Amino acid sequence: KNQVEQSPQSLIILEGKNCTLQCNYTVSPFSNLRWYKQDTGRGPVSLTIMTFSENTKSNGRYTATLDADTKQSSLHITASQLSDSASYICVVSAGSSGSARQLTFGSGTQLTVLP
């Protein structure tokens, strides 16, 4: 069964600090992986998408890494801001036939940034 596990479940940091969120997956065959940011009461917004051949991808203060051998991804946030407080969701796609049912969603990491 395809699964995506995220850790920690929740995280509290002070403004200006860095943090790293983890995503472990058991999805086969792996196609690609995406990180979303979801503000409270809103829909998720895509941050990055990574394919099998990519190890690192950045989007401003967000940097995602992917290790396809260990089936792990991380999302690193640099110099956190209050607006970074949100749930961060890891989503993994299996196979290549292009069906929406191939997506497996993690339950998210709830990040709180305090002043």
Partner 1 sequence: SQTIHQWPATLVQPVGSPLSLECTVEGTSNPNLYWYRQAAGRGLQLLFYSVGIGQISSEVPQNLSASRPQDRQFILSSKKLLLSDSGFYLCAWSDDNRIWPQHFGDGTRLSIL
Interacting residue ranges for partner 1, rule: CB under 8 A: 4, 9, 34, 41-46, 49, 89, 91, 93, 98-108
CB of 79 to partner 1, least distance (A): 27
CB of 99 to partner 1, least distance (A): 6
Q: Three-state SS across the chain?
A: CCCEEEECCEEEEECCCCEEEEEEECCCCEEEEEEEEECCCCCCEEEEEEECCCCEEEECCEEEEEECCCCEEEEEECCCCHHHCEEEEEEEEECCCCCHHHEEECCCEEEEEEC
> 56 vs 96, which CB is nearer to partner 1?
96
> 34 vs 73, which CB is nearer to partner 1?
34
